[in-house]
Structure 1
Amino acid sequence: MIILIMAIFAILAFWANMVMKRPILRYLVTIIMFAGLIASVVAIVANMHDHYGMKTETTTVKKEIYSAGPAEQTFGVLLYQGVGSDGKENAYIYKSSATASRVTVSKPDLKTSSRQVSVAGNKVYRIVKTTRYVYKTDLYRLLFGIADNNHQLKNYHIVYQVPDTWVAMTPEQAKALPAKMTPKSAEEKAAMAMQQQQLAALAKTDPDKAASLQAQQVKKILNNQK
């Protein structure tokens, strides 16, 4: 529609210059038409660059995700890996369902930011907030709809809610963890065996508590690696 309006302004300006005899009226109409033409161009640029005539609309999707670790493991594992030259953003690795045989890798891009937060409970949720540009009114959509930018993506913001029954670690830490947890002396082996028996007994009556205790132990080992 805005293109048609520009064409009308241009045609009327040409018509005024060619047809109107009275100079003052001709100049006045020509100036008004050119002003309208310039205003239309400015509006198009503002729409394309600053989303003039648009507002932001945010939708939120919350979905449970599942441990990237073995199914028999009592605590959950969320893997993350820094990406990019500055390493400020992470790719996250998890399973999308309890029966999934392969992990899902969620990679960031220039319009995606992500973070982890600690929460109570025993489940991990991936919360995706999607913000898009939409036209404020049908009139704006009619004017600028030719740009095909309605519902244009502004950004994604992803939050991983991680309880204390889970451990977030890098793939390198996960790879090194079995060796770190393997007892080296006979006393350590005996202590480990007793601890495993206690955790197994606790898991039958309070699986969340058992998972939390084992997750604490793993976090302690990971912190000692730093």
Structure 2
Amino acid sequence: MIILILILFAIFLFVFNVLPVVKNNHFWAVLCLIGFIASGFFIVLNDVNHFGMSIEKKTKTYTLTSSSKKMNVLLYQGLGNGSEKIYIYKTNASQKKPLTTKTTKYSTKLTKTNKNSTLKVTTERYIYKNSLNKLLFGIFGNNNDLKHRYYHFRINKNWYILSTSQAKQLAKLISANKTTMQQEISTSVKSYLARELAKNPTLSQSQQKLLMQQAEIKATKNILDRYVAEIKE
């Protein structure tokens, strides 16, 4: 509509300025000129500053699932000099193709937590304040234009945050030391269980099994921590 108004003002400006069809044509020509300039000004204002629009904010929170079946990890891919990162994540275990954070009009924040790993995505979009503004400027197709997208990762402190390069290096280390890892974990679990039985010989089979599971998790985590410390970006 605003384009049509601009065109009409241009036509009438020509008519009143070039074809003196009415009295006081110069007065009407000036009014049309003002209208033409004002229309152009509001078009630019809409394009540059989203005149006539407000910001709509929507937030969604997802529970994250590790990208690896063997360990809890959040992956990222560095951009440019590495200061910017694209995070690669899953929101459910059955998800075949992981999702990634967007690369335009975005910002990311990452904090550690003792709770489950989650992702909160806040999206801000420009929408027209009312039907009149939409009628005037809707022709430009900028309704629902993205203003900004915020990603807030809250990652459990026991998760690893690795680049895709580090993840590949870690996978090679684990593969090359698979037998050694199994032996080390087995020795650590047996030693832990022996100490616990020495403290409490009456432990039931179910209690022993639980202790062994806990010991295995801890021993595996210690080995992975050591391997992660070895790999480079």
**TM-score, reference length from structure 1:** 0.76
Paired position in structure 2 for 1:95: 90
Paired position in structure 1 for 2:50: 51
Contact 2:10 2:33 in 1 (8 A): yes
Change (3 A) 1:205 1:27: farther
Please give the residue correspondences for 1:1-226 in structure 2 after superposition, counting only pairs within 5 Å.
1-17=1-17, 18-21=20-23, 25-70=24-69, 73=70, 75-83=71-79, 85-100=80-95, 102-121=96-115, 123-177=116-170, 179=173, 182=177, 192-196=185-189, 198=192, 204=210, 215=221, 218-219=224-225, 221-223=227-229, 225=231
2:145 and 2:108 map into 1 onto residues whose CA distance is: 20
Contact 1:202 1:210 in 2 (8 A): no
- Distance apart, 1:147 and its partner CA: 0.8
Name structure 2 gaps, 5 residues minimum.
194-206
Name structure 1 gaps, 5 residues minimum.
none
1:202 and 1:144 map into 2 onto residues whose CA distance is: 71
SS at match of 2:35: helix
**TM-score, reference length from structure 2:** 0.74
Change (3 A) 1:177 1:12: closer
SS at match of 2:37: helix
Q: Which amino acid aligns with 1:92?
A: Y
Q: CA RMSD in A?
A: 3.4
Change (3 A) 1:214 1:35: farther
Change (3 A) 1:35 1:184: same
- How many residues of Structure 1 are paired with residues of Structure 2 in the alignment? 214
Contact 2:189 2:212 in 1 (8 A): no
Contact 2:188 2:219 in 1 (8 A): no
